[in-house]
Structure 1
Amino acid sequence: MNIKNDENQSELFLDDKEFEKTMRKNRRRAIIKNVVITGSALIALYGGLSFGNKYWLSERLTKEDNATGVWLSITEPNIEHHASFYNWNSFSADATHEYSKKIGERVIPWESLTGHYNLIYSEKEPSNWINHYNEKRKNWEIFNSQNGQRELIFYHPQVQYKQVPNDLNLLDEIGSNKYVEYALSFDRPYSIVELQNLLDKQNTEWLWIDTESDKEINSLNQQELKEVEGSFNRGNIYGYPYNSQNDWQSPELFIDMLKSPDFYGDYADKAKEILTKLKKDNPKLNPEKVKIIGAVITGTPDELKKYQSKEFIKASSLGATIDKY
């Protein structure tokens, strides 16, 4: 009897061991299954978030590129967006933006700026300039920090400067095998009709529109302007590109660009502010009443000598120069 009970207990013990073994296997399988399911879900979630983020970031960058392109035409005289290169990460993008100038038949790489973008914010490297006092000519010059070329400097007709440059005189010293760029600042505001008799459209690249308020001008005139203070440079002036070889391009282009549907956020706010200033003296925004106070011209020294000693030019600032060949 005892032997039989011992056998039954042994069988029960073996059954318990098999049961535990089976349970351990099942637990391992369940754990592995859960790990696989959880891992797959996380991978799918990460992939979905990454894809969705890249899609929406791409949409945002397209929107920003469109707005920046229009804004560049308005506030960066004779500078074009050449190309952008993006390095996409999981939830952000790093970019390199390249800009250039065309002078005559030559293109000058102007600057390369980096940017970092995600869905929350964007960060873009600013342009860098170098201010240099020219002892020989007794005035200040601004140079691009990347290519060493001169930056254009403009002078408002209503601002009282101690002195302004007359760089058109340098044309007699510049070789005929060069293309040159100049910023012309006028002695007073002119309409587009008046300018047709003063400028050669073959050399005109960009027109500077007066968007300064009386308060801003009075503030500048109350200061003792030294060095390059009170002058205007790209980024703080507004105008429009002139790229027609046949007909004079109306300031209506400038007005239309300010109303561009591509503008949003800070761009839209600034454009609205400029339109408000224009409407003060021109409520109906009549293009023929828009005040033009400067221009960017390019060409060979011989082509631009016709502007020397012209009374309508208050100041002239030499910009980029490059060999013809």
Structure 2
Amino acid sequence: MNKENEFLAKDFEFENLVKKARKRSIVKIVLISFVISLVVLFGLYFIGNRVMTTKMEKETSLDSTWNGVMGANIEERGTSFNYSLTSATAKTTLVKVVAGIPIPWGEQEKVFTILGTSRPISTTGPSGFGFSDDERIPMYYEGERVVEFFHPQVKYKQLFDDRKLLKVIDDNMVVEMAFSFDDGYSIEEVNEVFKEQLAWYWVDTFSKDQIENENKLNKVESFRDATIDGFHAYGFSYNRMAEAYSASNFISTLEKVKEDGGDYQEDAERIITNITNQGEIKLEPQNLKIIGVIVTGKPSDLIKFSEESMIRSATLGATINQY
């Protein structure tokens, strides 16, 4: 019996060795799993960060390109980037240049994530305050008046003419004013009249259907005339140093965005279709119809346009003391 018990007796030394080996194996598996997890996480983070950076570079470049054709007399003054662990924010500064003086015009912000998503986070825009029966409710942004345009083929209940304000604004100020025309004119015709104070051209990008719908709406008695504010007008800046290239740059921008324009591609296609009358005419500078302009200068500089027959409407924009 004693021999049998001795035969069945546990080998505690062997069991301890097995336990130690098992612990080492578990620790080894845990360490390997941890290292692999870190490698995978860092790999995914690196890929995600690369995707985010690539997307951010492309979209901010595209946004900048589109800002060159949308927004009346609005210019970019650089983009800054703020990075966090899983996202980045692009902030673009905008200005209006009135007779050579830059006026801050807000910022465009967009947030990008390592998941490959992006979204705009700027929520500010032009606004007006008043009552429904007011004759006019001016729009304001950044404490300044926002220019408004009137399409020459749309019949509005009322047209604004702020040229009378030029007589009461101090001549130490410089002002921005939007002129809407009674018809579409060539670039040469516009330059002949406004060249000295010209800052920006408003291009006719409307379709016949759009004009027809606007006219139908304006026949509704309860409908307040919908003007085109400066944020949503399409056109291009007057470049005194490279006058011949301004319209060509506008056209090349539209063509570029039409080919690979992301969120703006459909807009570019629509504008090109409307300008060319669905391909009946070529997309060339001489075929652009200019239906309005932005002019800037001292009130005394702009008063000379008070009797200009091609001007259908005039609205005041941003103003600033030139000193």
Once the two structures are superposed, the pairs formed by residues 90-109 of structure 1 within 5 Å of their partners are 90-109=85-104
From 189, 207, 216, the equivalent of 1:213 is 207
State the 1:44 CA deviation. 1.6
The question of 1:131 aligning with 2:125 is answered: no
State the 1:87 CA deviation. 3.5
> Structure 1 stretch 96-105 or stretch 173-182: which is displaced more?
96-105
From 152, 159, 162, the equivalent of 1:157 is 152
Q: Following the alignment from structure 1 to structure 2, what is the Cα–Cα distance between the partners of residues 298 and 254?
A: 21
Q: Following the alignment from structure 1 to structure 2, what is the Cα–Cα distance between the partners of residues 87 and 140?
A: 38
For the residue of structure 2 that corresponds to 1:280, the secondary structure is coil
State the 1:64 CA deviation. 0.7
Question: Is there any run of 5+ residues in structure 1 with no aligned partner, and where?
Answer: none
From 71, 74, 79, the equivalent of 2:69 is 74
Q: Following the alignment from structure 2 to structure 1, what is the Cα–Cα distance between the partners of residues 34 and 204?
A: 62
Name the aligned partner's letter for residue 268 of structure 1. Answer: Q
**Residue number in structure 2 paired with 1:142:** 139
For the residue of structure 2 that corresponds to 1:68, the secondary structure is helix
**Residue number in structure 2 paired with 1:233:** 229
User: Which structure has the bigger radius of gyration?
Assistant: 1
**Residue number in structure 1 paired with 2:264:** 267
**Residue number in structure 1 paired with 2:305:** 307
Percent of aligned pairs sharing the same letter = 31
For the residue of structure 2 that corresponds to 1:229, the secondary structure is coil
Q: Following the alignment from structure 2 to structure 1, what is the Cα–Cα distance between the partners of residues 98 and 20?
A: 78
Change in Cα spacing, 1:222 to 1:199, as seen in structure 2 (3 Å) is same
Q: Following the alignment from structure 2 to structure 1, what is the Cα–Cα distance between the partners of residues 6 and 102?
A: 96
**Residue number in structure 2 paired with 1:47:** 42
The question of 1:60 aligning with 2:58 is answered: no
Would the aligned equivalents of 1:187 and 1:312 in 2 still touch at CA under 8 Å?
yes
Q: Following the alignment from structure 1 to structure 2, what is the Cα–Cα distance between the partners of residues 96 and 287?
A: 33
Q: Following the alignment from structure 1 to structure 2, what is the Cα–Cα distance between the partners of residues 134 and 158?
A: 28
State the 1:68 CA deviation. 0.9
Q: Following the alignment from structure 1 to structure 2, what is the Cα–Cα distance between the partners of residues 98 and 250?
A: 22
1:154-211: per-residue Cα shift (whole Å, max 9, x none)? 11111111221111221111112212111111111100121121112x4222111111
- Could you state the TM-score of these two structures normalised by the residue count of structure 2? 0.87
Computed over aligned residues only, the root mean square deviation of the Cα atoms, in angstroms, reads: 2.8
Name the aligned partner's letter for residue 298 of structure 2. Answer: T
Name the aligned partner's letter for residue 316 of structure 1. Answer: A
Would the aligned equivalents of 2:126 and 2:139 in 1 still touch at CA under 8 Å?
yes
Question: Is there any run of 5+ residues in structure 2 with no aligned partner, and where?
Answer: none
Would the aligned equivalents of 1:196 and 1:248 in 2 still touch at CA under 8 Å?
no
**Residue number in structure 2 paired with 1:179:** 174
